Every structure is written in structure tokens, then in C-alpha cells.
Amino acid sequence: MKYKLSQILKLFDNPEVSGSEDVEITAIASLEKALPSELSFLGNKKYAHEVPATKAGVVLLPRSYSGDMPEKAVVVKVGNPSAELAKICALVEKELFPKPVPSIHPNAVIDRNAKIGKDVFIGANAVICEGAEIGDRAVIQGNNYIGRHAKIGEDVLLMPNVVVMDYCEVGKRCRIQPGAVIGSDGYGYEFVNGKHERVPQVGRVVLEDDVDVGANTCIDRARFDKTVVGAGTKIDNLVQIAHNVQIGKGALLVSQVGISGSTKIGNYCVLGGQVGVAGHLSIGDGSMIGGQSGINGDIPPKSYMRGTPPRPYMQAHKIDVLVGHIQDFFDRLKEVEKRLGIERKTFGKK
């Protein structure tokens, strides 16, 4: 990485620059670790105290910043430093991970009845099964498996070791990280005559356009009909989405979320890390669920909840504070009982 600040400023929206635009940038670093040839930024106000002492050559600050400035750095004020930094990262990404030249590796196995679009890249050991369709400009990296009659949309990126099972559909511009499985069997069994009998899962998975799926995430095919992930939804690593789940548009699912079968997640919901959702529930549009919560009932739209069972966020916070004072409460109660001459029985015993 080597860019003049003047090149980078062309990416930004109305930057306010204090210092020379000729400074050269060779890397991106945190405020604490940045060197004079590197660029840093203030994306979270909790790190504002690190700004004055940073050794970075260039610092992106929000326009609202009013604290002490670094002594030697060129300061660039913008509306949203994190968003502007993303533009720099996109520029660097194109150099570090250039899109491969359209081609098909000789070790790829492609069924003669598969349909391959224009300007497609298919890597080594990829398997494209009967009736599968690969859209224009798709990138299918090494060791991918595309099942029978599966559909891969235009401009899709499948990183190594992705599996898209039979009849599943991946929309345009989706990005699927290594090891993800789209269309594994849903978890369905019936207890019959003393045995757990498998219930065949004959549906499929549909990812709408612009969905991102993290590494080693599993999205199960439906028992019937389809499991759906709405357009623009972003799914982190190690997420489990069960059969017949319906996820709306623009949702965010953080690592280790688990969603049980037939649950509906509304548009633009946010589920924090390790949230568990029971089956056949509904989480309303725009709801936010705090990390490690256990959801066992329907959640109304635009709720902000956390905990097990879930409660409104600030109520849950107050309860956590009170729990920390329970011992003090019982000690004080014991003293009151003693003064009143009340015989203490089982309540509050240690």
C-alpha cells in the first residue's frame, strides 16, 4: 500500500484538511499503534483520548470532534470516519484480492447439462452438477460444490469450500465465505415405535440479492417450500439458520446466532452474538436483541430487548444491577428482623 493523501481525498465527501496533501500513506493502523507513514481514524468516541498522542501521519476525525489535536498529523475531518475508511479499504482490497480473470480450471468438474454464464471464473476442483446455473461474472473459487439445479446469480462470489446444495438459489452479488453450507438438511425427526425417524426435508434455500454469509455458517433447506434470507441481510460466521426460517431484508445476524425452525425475523432486525431463538416465533421489523439472549416468545416490532427471558433493554440492565446487591439486601433485612425481634425462618438464609 502506498498512496498520496491527495489520491485518497478524492474518495471522500467534502473533507476538511488541515496540513499537506502530499504526505504518503503506506498502511492503516489504530491510533495507539500508528506510525508517521500510516493513516488512522477515530471511529468510536471511547478512543478520543488517544487522538492527541497518536503518531499517525494522517488522522480521520468526525467533524464534531472538538478535543485536542495531534501535534504532527495531517487532520482530515469528515462526516463519518468509519464510512470513509471503508472507501480506502475498498481501494486496497482491489489490489490485494483482485478479481480473477474469467476462466475455468482444467480440474473443475462441470456437468454437460449445467449452464455457465459469461465471464465466469471456476477454480480448481469445483464441482458443478447437472442442471446448475451459474450467472454472468460469478466467481466460484476452488473446492466449491454446486448441487443439481442450483442457481447462482450474477456477480456472486463463492469463496473456497462453499457448498450450495440441490435446488438452492443464491441471488445477485451475494458473498459467501469459506466453509458455509447452503441447503443442508433441516433437523427434523418424529419419534415412532421407540425410534427417531428422519423426516425428509424436500424444500430449498433462497438467498435474495446482496446477502453476505459468514464462514462455516449453515442454512438448512426447508422441510417443504423454502428457507428465505431477505435482500441485503448480512450474516456473520458460525450462524445456524434452521428449516423454513424466514429472514427479512437488511437484517444483521452476529456470530453464533441460532434460529430454530419456522421462525420469522423481520426487516432490519439485529441479533447480537449468541442469541438463541426458539421455533415458530416472530420477531418484528426493526427489533434489536442483545447478545446471549434467549428468545422464547414473539417480539413486537422496534423492540430493544435482551436477556433470558428477554426484557426491555434498560429494564434488563436495572435487574442486573439489582442482582449484584442481593447479598447486601439480605444482610440489611436480617438486621431489621433482629431489631424487630422477628424470628428468621428460611427466607434469605445463606
Residue with cell 425417524: 197
Catalytic residue (choose from 105, 196, 243, 317): 243
Per-residue exposure over 238-247, b if at least 16 CB sit within 10 Å of its own CB, e if not: bbbbbbbbbb
Question: What grid cell was written down for 18?
Answer: 488541515
Any residues with CB less than 8 A from the CB of 260 and at least 6 apart, and which?
242, 245, 277, 278, 279, 280, 281
Any residues with CB less than 8 A from the CB of 30 and at least 6 apart, and which?
40
Q: Do residues 198 and 188 touch, judged by C-beta distance below 8 A?
A: yes
Clarify whether 196 is annotated catalytic: no
Question: What grid cell was written down for 221?
Answer: 433447506
Provide the CA 59 distance to its chain's centre, in angstroms: 27
- Nearest in space to 59 (alpha carbons), one of 87, 2, 17, 89: 17
Catalytic residues: 243
